[in-house]
Amino acid sequence: MPSANEVIAECQDKMSKAIGHLHDEFSTLRTGRASPALVEKIRVDYYGSEVPLQQLAGFTVPEARVLVIQPYDKGAIGAIEKAIQQSDLGINPGNDGQVIRLAFPQLTEDRRKEMVKRAKNMAEEARIAVRNRRRHARQELEALEKDGDISRDELDRVEKDLEKLTAEVVAEVETVLTHKERELLEV
C-alpha cells in the first residue's frame, strides 16, 4: 500500500503530465505563424502503415508564414501532400518535386475566435483531468485512513495539501490558456 506522500507525489506527477499534454494540444492550434508543431503529428499513409510526419521529413521555417517540409524519401511527397490536405489545417500544400511548402495566410477574425474557443475547450479538458486525478488521489487517501495506515488528522492535512496542489495546477492551466488566447488574437 502506498503512503500518503506517495499518493500526493503520484498525483502531482499526473497533474503535471496534464499540463504537458495541454501544451502539446496548444501547439497544434494555428496562430497564423508557421510552426513544425502544426504538422509533425499528422499521420501519413506510408507504404501501408500510418506514420507521424515527423518521422518522414524535416521541417524549416524560412519566413514567419512559410513552413518547408523536406521528405527524407522523395517518393513520400504524394502521401505527405494528401495527408496535409485531409488534415484540419485548411492549407493547400505546394510541391516542387523536392520539398513541400505551406504558406500560412493571415487568420480572419472569425477563425481567430474559433481557435480561441478550441483552446478554451482544450483547457477545460485539462482542468477536468486534473480534478479527476484529485478525486482518484482522495479516494486512495480515504482508503489508507479506512485501513488504519494514516490517522484522521493526517488525512485532513494531506487533503489540504491536495487541494492546494489542485488549485496551483488549475491556475497554471489558466495562465497557459491566457497566453495562448493572447497569441491567437494577436494580429
Q: Evaluate whether 183 touches 136 at the Cβ level (below 8 Å).
A: no
Q: For residue 62, give the H/E element and its range.
A: strand 57-63
User: How far, in Å, CA of 31 to CA of 112, rounded?
Assistant: 8
State pTM to two decimals.
0.73
Of the candidates 160, 165, 179, the residue with the CA atom closest to the CA atom of residue 14:
165
- Domains of the chain listed by start with CATH number: 4-27+108-185 (1.10.132.20), 36-103 (3.30.1360.40)
Handedness of CA 46, 50, 56, 57 (dihedral sign): positive
Q: Evaluate whether 40 touches 59 at the Cβ level (below 8 Å).
A: yes
pLDDT (tens, 9 = 90+) of the chain, 187 residues, equals 688 889 999 999 999 999 999 998 888 776 767 788 888 888 999 888 899 988 999 999 898 889 999 999 888 898 999 998 888 777 888 888 889 998 888 878 888 888 899 999 999 999 999 999 999 999 999 999 898 888 899 999 999 999 999 999 999 999 999 999 988 887 6
User: How far, in Å, CA of 63 to CA of 66, rounded?
Assistant: 5
